[in-house]
A and B are shown apart, each in its own frame.
Chain A
């Protein structure tokens, strides 16, 4: 085994070993021990990932691929699939984010789950998730990716329903799982179409076999495959119309929300599209769908986020909205920007989720922001780091969120696949984001305290604050590896857009208009000032004049009601999709199953029983009856031999 294979084995094996150790010891109540094992596994994995990326950097840019095939998974006729792994520019970013942020969240969990009843089980699931997520991003073909894809879905289900004694939480887990199934069906169909058309499921082979001309129309195989894969992405990455599971997924422990439902798993759909960028650029119509769905989801989820009262629900809708941005970027052909935002979002959203976890921990499992306020004093570190996250997400200049978000907005305007309307939707969503995030900050940390008297909030232990600080620093500076050209030109030393350089060889490109930097600056100015105005409004509403929101809500009337009820999407799904399926299933059960299938099987069993009953009378245990059969057999044999 050469060095790279060994690194792959350590990278994937460490979380798996951690899973087995904690999984076999699942009754343990020792959260420190199992937490250390799991965190250690994650850190080992991170070191292996870093070494692997170091190897990658030493390669020339065009040949930045490290492959390692472990064994032949299946070989059927001409079709063979290896359990093979691939690290290139795209997955390098992913494995660093997954193992890096993953390690921090493992560390955070040690403090957060200190008083839980089954910590070993929790950490086992967390390690298993890490393993599956790495499988997903490292898979060198669609099938290995699909295994990871399903594996993270399973872990997500297990962790959302981790406190399964609460029926609502168990139901949330099931909702996530079933919704994901719909997407997974699309993903599988996409794989089938690709295999049928190109005869391979390996990424490199697939991309080399693609035609060079883009496909027109809607029914070509590439467009259909892209759309089917995108359906898979909407399930996993919580886009319209399959986003409904993600807000409910907040039922799980908060570190899980940070790791799975903000930083890593939900970005799998974005990663998949970026990975197959060569395929998607050949299907402009599919790209258009991706961009529109992304933009619409970004705005739609952001408006819902305006009215939520649950700290984690706000963050969940924010995540849906930010994922929408990533799809918008992918849809306009700015795959690099999508990856960039994926990374920065992983930093600041994990930070905010962990911060909210710290708050919830301090508030004794209270999640309603109406019962918080003024926590700035009691929880200075949490507040400070959350503040950085807030600045990043609202797009404060030079922070990570600003870099990636404005690059997306600029590309959606300037790309040949983009449109000013997409940019406009994005900017409005950014303003909404700024508003609800400021509202969250204001209600949680600023203003007067509304904390119930019996609760005494306190700052969290170091295992929880250290990850917050690290993520805070990353949110501050993480964007500097992808500084846009126009800004870079103004800074002394003219730093390049490192990330773009890094990713460029691995991505397909869509022609971009070389817009003037004046235009770019002015668009940037519009979005930043809109966000600033929205933030000011929120601050004014919730800190300076706390009585105003009610009046404004009344002024919006019916619209406010719709938004605060999340546009009744869950109710509509319930009435229009779930209920008909339930009714149809009941009808199938009552008429087809009982009336037809059961009767058929009963008939078959009756025939067998009847025949058996007849034959059974022959086998009645009477010795002499048996002797008679022997005698008859003898007679027949003699007749046969001597006469017949």
Chain B
């Protein structure tokens, strides 16, 4: 049972807990949504959760490396969204629907 003090004193642990919750939401979205675009959004959610923990660590340890890392994550996220959406476009062109099931057709 967390003490009153720990509830009142907002610290690193609170941000990390928030980050974990958002991350698990993203996970559920990726695992369960049918629509590829919503899955991609869920991935963005997960990445944002990680970013939050980076920023929190950066703040509470007075170390700017975490913020730099967030830059890079953002860039990667943008790239991933671009490619993922391009694939989604192709899937839609072929099947007239963006269901994750059609990714079964992606075979060598």
Q: How many A-B residue pairs have C-beta atoms within 8 angstroms? Tell me.
A: 19
Inter-chain contacts of B30 with A (CB < 8 A): 624, 627
Consensus secondary structure, chain B interface: helix
Contact of A623 with B103 in the complex, beta carbons under 8 Å = yes
- Identify the closest chain B residue to A628 (Cβ): B31
Interface residues in A588-637 by Cβ distance below 8 A to B read 620-624, 627-628, 631
Cβ contacts B18-41/A at 8 Å (1 or 0 each): 000000000100111000000000
Q: Which residues of B contact A621 (CB under 8 A)?
A: 103-104, 107
Cα-based distance from A184 to B104 in the complex (angstroms): 60
Q: Is the CB of A622 within 8 A of B101?
A: yes
- Are A624 and B31 in contact, CB atoms less than 8 angstroms apart? yes
Please report the C-alpha to C-alpha distance between residue A627 and residue B31 in the assembled complex, in whole angstroms: 6
Least CB distance, A643 to chain B, in whole angstroms: 15
Q: Chain A residues near B101: list those with CB within 8 A.
A: 622
Contact A622 B104 (CB under 8 A): yes
Whether A631 and B27, one on each chain, are in contact in the complex, defined by CB atoms closer than 8 angstroms, is: yes
Task: Confirm or deny: B100 has a beta carbon within 8 angstroms of a beta carbon on chain A.
Answer: yes
- CB of B107 to closest CB in A, whole Å: 8
- One of B31, B100, B104, B107 near A631 (C-beta < 8 A): B31
| B contact residues around A623 at 8 Å (CB) | 100, 103-104
Fill in one digit per residue for B77-108: 1 if any A CB lies within 8 Å of its CB, else 0: 00000000000000000000000110110010
In Å, the complex CA distance between A139 and B11 comes to 90
| B50 CB → nearest A CB, Å | 13
On whether the beta carbons of A624 and B104 are closer than 8 Å, the reply is no
A624 touches B100 (CB 8 A): yes
Minimum Cβ distance to chain A for residue B8 (Å): 26
Hey, which chain B residues are within 8 Å of A620, CB to CB?
104
| B104 partner residues in chain A, CB cutoff 8 A | 620-623
Minimum CB–CB distance for B80 against chain A, Å: 15
Minimal beta-carbon separation of A617 from chain B (angstroms): 14
CA distance A392 to B21 in the complex (A): 110
In chain B, what residue has the closest Cβ to A623?
A: B103
User: Which chain B residue shows the least CB distance to A621?
Assistant: B104
CA distance A623 to B35 in the complex (A): 12
- Bound Cα distance from A628 to B32, whole angstroms: 9
Report how far A277 CA is from B30 CA in the complex, Å: 87
- Asked if A624 and B27 sit within 8 Å, CB to CB, the answer is no
Task: Please measure, in the bound complex, the distance between the C-alpha atom of A627 and the C-alpha atom of B34, giving whole angstroms.
Answer: 13
Please measure, in the bound complex, the distance between the C-alpha atom of A624 and the C-alpha atom of B31, giving whole angstroms: 6
The complex places the Cα of A620 from the Cα of B107 at a distance, in Å, of 12
| A621 and B107 alpha carbons, distance in the complex (Å) | 9
In the complex, which residues of chain B have a beta carbon less than 8 angstroms from the beta carbon of A624? 30-32, 100
Q: How far is the CB of B37 from chain A (nearest CB, A)?
A: 14
Binary per-residue interface labels of chain A (333-344) against chain B in the complex, 1 for a CB within 8 Å, 0 otherwise: 000000000000
Expressed in whole angstroms, the Cα–Cα distance for A628 and B100 within the complex equals: 14
A622 contacts which chain B residues (CB < 8 A)? 100-101, 104
With both chains docked as a complex, state the minimum distance between the C-beta of A633 and any C-beta of chain B, in angstroms. Answer: 12
Compute how far the CA of A628 lies from the CA of B101 in the bound complex, rounded to whole angstroms.
15
Q: Chain A residues with Cβ under 8 A from B31's Cβ?
A: 624, 627-628, 631
A residues in contact with B100, CB < 8 Å: 622-624
Once bound together, how far apart are the Cα atoms of A622 and B30, in whole Å?
Answer: 13
CB distance from A632 to the nearest CB of B (A): 10
Shortest CB distance A625–B (Å): 9
Closest to B105 in A: A621
Measured CB to CB, the closest approach of chain B to A127, in angstroms, equals 51
Please list 12 pairs of residues, one from A and one from B, whose beta carbons are closer than 8 Å in the complex, sorted by A's number.
A620-B104, A621-B103, A621-B104, A621-B107, A622-B100, A622-B101, A622-B104, A623-B100, A624-B32, A624-B100, A628-B31, A631-B27
The 6 A-B pairs at the shortest CB distance, nearest first, are namely A621-B104, A623-B103, A623-B100, A627-B31, A627-B30, A624-B100
Further contacts, 15 of them, CB under 8 A, given A623-B100, A623-B104: A621-B103, A621-B104, A621-B107, A622-B100, A622-B101, A622-B104, A623-B103, A624-B30, A624-B31, A624-B100, A627-B30, A627-B31, A628-B31, A631-B27, A631-B31
